[in-house]
Chain A
Amino acid sequence: SYVLTQPPSVSVAPGKTASITCGGSNIGSYSVHWYQQKPGQAPMLVISYDSDRPSGIPERFSGSNSGNTATLTISRVEAGDEADYYCQVWDGSGDHVIFGGGTKLTVL
């Protein structure tokens, strides 16, 4: 089965740029979605179809996907961005949804 690999943690200083990666075999051929989950809350969609921002998501959030790595980039990081982030794809046959293991973003 298809596996998505995320770093367990990423740390960044306020105002800097955070990059969270999601690795998978030829992931560039898949559409990748990203979710933010703050403690005690439900996940929230922040990027869909590799790089589309849903309404209400700040422009500081962006996504890219190529080769074996998809990346969620958060510019000008704020304390409120501290959360767990998950990438997600559909398997090739459309019968399973796959989540990455999640990355905890810490704002120093």
Chain B
Amino acid sequence: QVQLVESGGGLVKPGGSLRLSCAASGFTFSDSFMSWIRQAPGKGLEWVSYISISGRTIYYADSVKGRFTISRDSAKSSLYLHMNNLRAEDTAVYYCASFGGYGGSMYYWGQGTLVTVSS
């Protein structure tokens, strides 16, 4: 069955870095656009970034631009999010999700990984 499994979350100090991973199985990862979406405690969903199938098209939310880097490895069916210069407001559950392309819906979601930024 379809699985997206995030990992790499944890407690990090402000200004620190973290790398999240998302391992995909059960569907054709190499044919899927991928995205990261986050949810702060008790808050709504916030889109973070997406990457095209080829990896050549990438976009970021203004709140993370210049600090976060999304990447993918189709050989490993994996998605990554490198997060630098973390702030308290980056504290959230981070979900990876797949979609068919621009305009499409996020049809598969992982269970999320919690990132806590605190001193």
List residues of chain A with CB under 8 Å of any chain B CB. 31, 33, 35, 37, 41-45, 48-49, 54, 84, 86, 88, 90, 94-102
Contact = CB atoms under 8 A, between A and B. Distances in A.
Contacts of A90: 102-103
30 contacts: A31-B103, A33-B105, A35-B45, A35-B106, A42-B110, A43-B45, A43-B106, A43-B109, A45-B105, A45-B106, A45-B107, A48-B104, A48-B105, A54-B107, A84-B44, A86-B44, A86-B45, A88-B105, A88-B106, A90-B102, A90-B103, A95-B59, A96-B47, A96-B59, A97-B35, A97-B37, A97-B50, A99-B46, A99-B47, A101-B44
Nearest to A31: B103
Contacts, number: 54
Interface residues of B, number: 20
Nearest to B48: A97
A44 B111 CA distance: 11
B106 A33 contact: yes
Contacts of B61: 96
Contact of B95 (A42, A48, A95): A42
Contacts of A99: 37, 44-47
